[in-house]
């Protein structure tokens, strides 16, 4: 066959011409003369990266060395014939998009059909017609590049969706922070409490081995644990002295108020916040409120928040009490293991207590 200087097949307007010239092509034929003939022809036709080999057992080694766009594969070879090579290249063909054109003799119809069934894109019959070679190679590479472009566009769209989703989630979290701060505005601690509870719950959730997603969610959801206090009258919520039994009953209603305020929304962070708001005053022994849940019937997010919330309340100054020293508050948490608190979580809290104190210092909390 005679080599041509330029490709004569129709050009696809969406694919830049240089991509064809830079295509990585491998010719495999046990006859060195056939390999050399195709190498010279393809080089003169404008392809810059053409390799040839006569030993088909080296094809996989070459695939490991770097990607290929097109394989021109002879069918009749000793040791490892073309069909055997195709069997070995199934992943590269069907998952990585490798294009294969098999080289066969006119009489090898069954072999051609078997090769096409194994994923070969096309075939060339010996002796080769130069225009046919050009067109079939061009078509195979066009398919390769269009598939790459579609995959690239799919990845770009997936990245865009991921970025927009992250922005939406961050917006949800920011709205939660704003709503939580609104709830704390009525308290003298004006927001520091929700931040301390958020950081403490995040740390304890990590120590307890919760999944990465749960650990991240609780950082934000725990901020909403007392959002229901918005519904409590000022004269009860801000009372500077000890509450009467009747007033304490009013305070207990903030758990249900929290559920009502957060609503029945589908977002994961909202669902977790609702569970925390409703259950962070339940006790391990079933003596808590509002439902008297016990043990693992209490969601673990509620059990975690219960420990951090009580510790922070003990160590915070209020109009009706002074702040308790950290070691005394830790002793109360330790003594409450198995009665008020999940004993396993208490053990985790004690284990991370030095780190917990270090993180609390950023709030200048005394």
47 and 131 part of one domain: yes
Confidence check: pLDDT of 10 > 60: no
Q: Which range (158-172, 198-212, 265-279, 302-316) has the least confidence?
A: 158-172
Q: Kindly report whether the global pTM for this prediction surpasses the value 0.85.
A: no
CATH assignment at residue 125: 3.40.50.2300
Task: Assess whether 151 and 204 both reside in one domain.
Answer: no
Instruction: Kindly state the helix (H) or strand (E) to which residue 126 belongs, with its residue range.
Output: strand 122-126
In a domain, 162, yes or no: no
> Does 290 sit behind a cis peptide bond, omega within 30 degrees of 0 on the bond before it?
yes
Question: Which pLDDT does position 314 carry in this prediction?
Answer: 95
CATH of the domain at 210: 1.10.3210.10
Token reading at 116: 């096409």
Q: What is the pLDDT of residues 19-37, one digit of tens each?
A: 999 999 999 999 999 999 9
Same domain, 234 and 356: yes
CA distance 66 to 47: 17
Query: Quick check: is 67 in a domain?
Result: yes
Please indicate, yes or no, if residue 168 is contained in any of the structural domains.
no
* DSSP codes, 170-184: HHHHHHHHHHHHHHH
Q: Is the predicted pLDDT of residue 146 greater than 80, yes or no?
A: yes
The stretch 185-192 carries a mean pLDDT of: 60
Does a structural domain hold residue 284? yes
List CB contacts of 258: < 8 A, sequence separation 6 or more: 224, 225, 226, 227, 228, 274, 277, 278
Does residue 291 sit in the same domain as residue 334?
A: yes
The answer on 218 and 80 residing in a single domain is no
CA distance 173 to 269: 8
The answer on 229 and 127 residing in a single domain is no
pLDDT digits (tens, 9 = 90+) for 243-252: 899 999 999 9
With respect to residue 178, please indicate whether it lies within any of the assigned structural domains.
no
Mean pLDDT of the chain: 88
pLDDT digits (tens, 9 = 90+) for 35-44: 999 999 999 8
Same domain, 303 and 229: yes
Residue 158 has pLDDT above 90, yes or no: no
Q: Which residues pair with 73 in a beta bridge?
A: 28, 102
| pLDDT, average across residues 267-272 | 88
Confidence of residue 333 (pLDDT cuts 50, 70, 90): very high
Q: Is residue 220 part of a domain?
A: yes
Specify the DSSP element, H or E, that contains 70: strand 70-74
Both 321 and 203 in a single domain?
A: yes
- Asked if residue 9 has pLDDT above 70, the reply is no
CA atoms within 13 A on the CB side of 104: 20
pLDDT: is 54 or 180 the higher one? 54
Q: Are residues 108 and 210 in the same domain?
A: no
The boundaries of the domain holding residue 125 are 17-156
**Is 179 part of a structural domain of the chain?**
no
CA–CA separation, 262 vs 119, rounded Å? Answer: 55
| CA–CA dist 133, 50 (Å, integer) | 15
User: Is residue 229 located within the same domain as residue 344?
Assistant: yes
Q: What are phi and psi of 52, to 5 degrees?
A: -135, 150
Query: Is residue 223 situated within a structural domain?
Result: yes
The values of phi and psi at residue 124, to 5°, are -125, 135
Number of domains in the chain: 2
Average pLDDT, integer, range 199-211 = 97
């Amino acid at each position: 066959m005679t080599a041509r200087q330029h490709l004569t097949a129709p050009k696809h307007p969406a694919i830049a011409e240089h991509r064809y010239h830079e295509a990585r092509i491998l010719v495999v034929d046990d006859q060195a003369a056939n390999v050399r003939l195709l190498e010279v022809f393809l080089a003169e036709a404008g392809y810059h990266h053409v390799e040839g080999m006569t030993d088909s057992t080296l094809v996989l080694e070459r695939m490991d060395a770097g990607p290929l766009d097109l394989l021109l594969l002879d069918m009749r070879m000793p040791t490892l014939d073309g069909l055997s090579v195709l069997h070995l290249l199934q992943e590269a063909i069907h998952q990585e998009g490798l294009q294969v054109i098999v080289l066969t003799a006119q009489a090898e119809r069954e072999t051609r059909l078997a090769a096409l069934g194994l994923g070969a894109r096309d075939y060339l019959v010996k002796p080769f017609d130069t225009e046919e070679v050009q067109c079939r190679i061009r078509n195979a590479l066009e398919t390769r590049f269009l598939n790459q472009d579609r995959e690239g566009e799919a990845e770009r769209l997936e990245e865009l969706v991921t970025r927009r989703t992250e922005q939406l989630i961050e917006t949800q979290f920011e709205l939660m922070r704003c709503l939580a701060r609104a709830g704390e505005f009525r308290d003298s601690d004006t927001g520091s409490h929700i931040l301390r509870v958020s950081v403490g719950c995040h740390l304890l959730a990590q120590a307890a081995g919760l999944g990465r997603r749960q650990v991240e969610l609780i950082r934000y959801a725990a901020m909403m644990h007392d959002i229901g206090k918005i519904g409590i009258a000022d004269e009860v919520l801000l009372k500077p002295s000890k509450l009467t039994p009747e007033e304490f009953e009013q305070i207990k209603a903030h758990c249900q108020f929290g559920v009502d305020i957060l609503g029945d929304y589908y977002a994961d962070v909202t669902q977790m916040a609702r569970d925390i708001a409703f259950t962070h005053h339940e006790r391990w022994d079933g003596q808590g409120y509002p439902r008297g849940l016990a043990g693992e019937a209490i969601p673990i997010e509620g059990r975690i928040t219960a420990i951090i919330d009580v510790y922070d309340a003990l160590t915070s100054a209020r109009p009706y009490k002074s702040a308790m020293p950290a070691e005394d508050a830790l002793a109360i948490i330790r003594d409450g293991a198995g009665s008020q608190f999940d004993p396993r979580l208490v053990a985790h809290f004690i284990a991370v207590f030095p780190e917990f104190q270090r993180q609390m210092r950023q709030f200048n909390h005394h």
